[in-house]
Structure 1
Amino acid sequence: MSTLDIRKVTAHIGAHVSGVDISQPLDGETVAALREALNVHKALVFDDVRLDDVGQQAFARHFGDLTSAHPTVAAVEGAPNVLPVDSERGVANQWHTDVTFVLNPPQASTLRSITLPPYGGETLIANSAAAYRQLPQPLRTLADSLWAEHTNDYDYAVPAEEIDEERAAQRARFTSIKFRTAHPVVRVHPLTGERGLFIGGFAQRVVGLSVGESRKVLELLQSYVVRPENILRHRWSPNQLVLFDNRITQHYAVDNYDKLPRRLNRVTVAGDVPVGVEGKESYSIEGDAAHYTPVAAAVAA
């Protein structure tokens, strides 16, 4: 087993990991230790990694089967599991959890620095379990009972005020298959049993409420997720990889680099179907994502 050195970055989220070469095959004990660190810290940062696309996929595969790059967006040429998160394709400057509009969103995401601006371009990652714990008891009870519809068919990908011909084409690709899925607002993590707020930008309506009512409820709950003390603000360096638990975090790419080139490559690990506090599973309303991701077996906490 590698001699792991895991150092917390903040009280509620994030750790730097050293003492392991993730470009090499990892033994089961090391993978188990990394999984436990991910359970505890939600996001792990690896410095000075020497990975190409093949190596990034191999590392991510230690945690489960891979998804393809995205349900609707093109992969890196020759690497069907790798999504280029490229400023030239638009910016994701909204809080979200990856691909929650499908029935079983990825359980984990890896981001690897490729091209970085000389300033700005941070990635914010928030701990939604800490947010849940911070809710006053009446709000916690309410959240436990709610379900929300998540969809890719809205202006997340291309803000309305910025739509031009190129961005309209990007939006058309992003919504070329329309997905709507109902998820519990409070998801129970299958490995730890923790409860976390499972909302973010793709959550557009609370089941049983109007759009206006939904917006107010979701904004209230989201305000706990994005408290500064729940956030890791990661400033990218060359040859870094960040692994985060997509089941119990949200993230946000900060658009503060004057449209300079910025690119990260993303590889995601297939996830299980979310389960709420009463044991009920998420259900699909529209769209089949079988071409995008296998369903991971749920493991009891």
Structure 2
Amino acid sequence: MSSQLVQESAQTHVDAVPTTPLPSWDGAENGYETIAVRRVAGNIGAEIGGVRISGDLDATTVAEIRRALLAHRVVFLRDQHHADDATQRAFAALLGTLTKPHPTVAGDGDAVLPIDSDYSRANSWHTDVTFVDRIPAISILRAITLPPYGGTTTWANTVRAYAKLHPSLRALVDNLWAVHSNLYDYAAERDEKRVGGIDVKEQSYRDEFGHLEFETEHPVVRVHPETGERSLVLGHFVRRFVGLNTHDSQDLFTLLQRHVTRLENTVRWSWRPGDIAMWDNRATQHYAIDDYDDHPRLLHRITLAGDVPVSVDGVRSTPRKGDASHFSPLS
């Protein structure tokens, strides 16, 4: 991408948002030839410009998108109004092998999982699908219907969270393993509903989510297969730490999660029509904020196959219950 085109692309985006301008776009001078990139927060998150997603993008552009994603953990593309499910699938396939929508939820039966507020609101910190052995590598989320306010999503950088741990805590978690399970109550942080007051759609979704049981032992610290960095594997699918009792597990989990989700370690995205977010599921957690009342909110997610996490001493995660081969091949 020429310097002039990068500047024009940046100006278009800045003009579209009547706020304080973001930092300058990175272009050819920073190694990007076909895309423009600018940070949206200090420790995680960047916006990519100069790209109209499709299944026909050239290999250089795809490689640069992946490089930006690995560097910034989550990237955002605005104004992709032309995209539909087929476009999203074709674009995703350039970056890796598509998984099924979910290990237990049917979605569209092919690759798309609707994130639909009518059925579920996953308003707690998590990394996608850590209850199976083959954790997805990348998630691609496209806005379909947005509420008039609220409904933002926040991501946290689990690589930086590990790096910022006190050395004594790093020594502890380097050798710690956790049991992850899909039999997690997404509504656990809400007040209990009165008997007979559970929404039928929500209950139906929760029944589908838990109709197959998965349980996997993962290292709390995994080595990223592409960057070699260490990251924390935590989030709301963790049931307990191996070898610790329930009380100690909960106390340690709370301490580590609090560290992961410190505000300076996060980026919060306000969705607009045409937006697409892509995140490295091996280096992040995220939280969809439930602050939009009864307004509809629908996004479509596609995930790309990942590998089995490996601990710092080279030991692979171990499934305890369930076979996820129907969900995803190993990358």
TM-score band, normalised by the shorter chain?
over 0.9
Are the aligned partners of 2:34 and 2:64 in contact in 1 as well (CA < 8 Å)?
no
- Superposed CA RMSD in Å reads 1.5
Are the aligned partners of 1:102 and 1:180 in contact in 2 as well (CA < 8 Å)?
yes
Provide the secondary structure at the position in 1 that maps to 2:227.
Answer: coil
Q: Provide the TM-score with structure 2 as the length reference.
A: 0.86
1:45 counterpart (70, 76, 86): 76
For residues 145 and 59 of structure 2, what CA distance do their matches in structure 1 show?
32
* Runs (5+) with no aligned partner, structure 2: 2-32
Provide the secondary structure at the position in 1 that maps to 2:326.
Answer: coil
Are the aligned partners of 1:125 and 1:251 in contact in 2 as well (CA < 8 Å)?
yes
Aligned equivalent of 2:107: 75
Aligned equivalent of 1:137: 167
Aligned equivalent of 2:142: 112
Code of the residue aligned with 2:127 in structure 1: it is T
For residues 150 and 266 of structure 1, what CA distance do their matches in structure 2 show?
22
Are the aligned partners of 1:53 and 1:82 in contact in 2 as well (CA < 8 Å)?
yes
Aligned equivalent of 1:171: 206
For residues 120 and 136 of structure 1, what CA distance do their matches in structure 2 show?
35
Q: CA deviation at 1:160?
A: 7.2
Code of the residue aligned with 2:283 in structure 1: it is I
For residues 135 and 42 of structure 1, what CA distance do their matches in structure 2 show?
19
Aligned equivalent of 2:91: 59
**Matching of residue 86 in structure 1 with residue 121 in structure 2:** no
2:280 counterpart (204, 221, 245): 245
For residues 277 and 284 of structure 2, what CA distance do their matches in structure 1 show?
13
**Matching of residue 15 in structure 1 with residue 46 in structure 2:** yes
Aligned equivalent of 2:23: none
For residues 204 and 246 of structure 2, what CA distance do their matches in structure 1 show?
27
Are the aligned partners of 1:157 and 1:171 in contact in 2 as well (CA < 8 Å)?
no
For residues 58 and 269 of structure 1, what CA distance do their matches in structure 2 show?
12
Larger radius of gyration: 2
For residues 223 and 165 of structure 1, what CA distance do their matches in structure 2 show?
31
Q: Provide the TM-score with structure 1 as the length reference.
A: 0.94
- What is the number of residues matched between the two proteins? 294
For residues 185 and 96 of structure 2, what CA distance do their matches in structure 1 show?
31
1:272 counterpart (307, 311, 314): 307
Aligned equivalent of 1:29: 60
Provide the secondary structure at the position in 2 that maps to 1:89.
Answer: coil
Provide the secondary structure at the position in 2 that maps to 1:199.
Answer: coil
For residues 63 and 157 of structure 1, what CA distance do their matches in structure 2 show?
33
Q: Superposed, which structure 2 residues align to 1:133-282 within 5 Å?
A: 133-156=163-186, 161-162=192-193, 164=198, 166=200, 167-282=202-317
Q: CA deviation at 1:24?
A: 4.6
Are the aligned partners of 1:5 and 1:18 in contact in 2 as well (CA < 8 Å)?
yes
Provide the secondary structure at the position in 2 that maps to 1:290.
Answer: helix
For residues 251 and 278 of structure 1, what CA distance do their matches in structure 2 show?
27
Q: CA deviation at 1:169?
A: 2.8
For residues 62 and 277 of structure 1, what CA distance do their matches in structure 2 show?
30
Code of the residue aligned with 1:232 in structure 2: it is V
For residues 65 and 118 of structure 1, what CA distance do their matches in structure 2 show?
34
Are the aligned partners of 2:55 and 2:94 in contact in 1 as well (CA < 8 Å)?
no
For residues 32-62 of structure 1, the C-alpha deviation after alignment (integer angstroms, 9 at most, x for no partner) is: 1111111110001001112100110111111
Aligned equivalent of 1:99: 129
- Once the two structures are overlaid, the 10-residue window that deviates more, 221-230 or 153-162, is 153-162
* Runs (5+) with no aligned partner, structure 1: 297-301
For residues 142-177 of structure 1, the C-alpha deviation after alignment (integer angstroms, 9 at most, x for no partner) is: 011100000011212675724726233322211100
Identical-pair percentage: 50
For residues 272 and 218 of structure 1, what CA distance do their matches in structure 2 show?
24
For residues 122 and 259 of structure 1, what CA distance do their matches in structure 2 show?
15
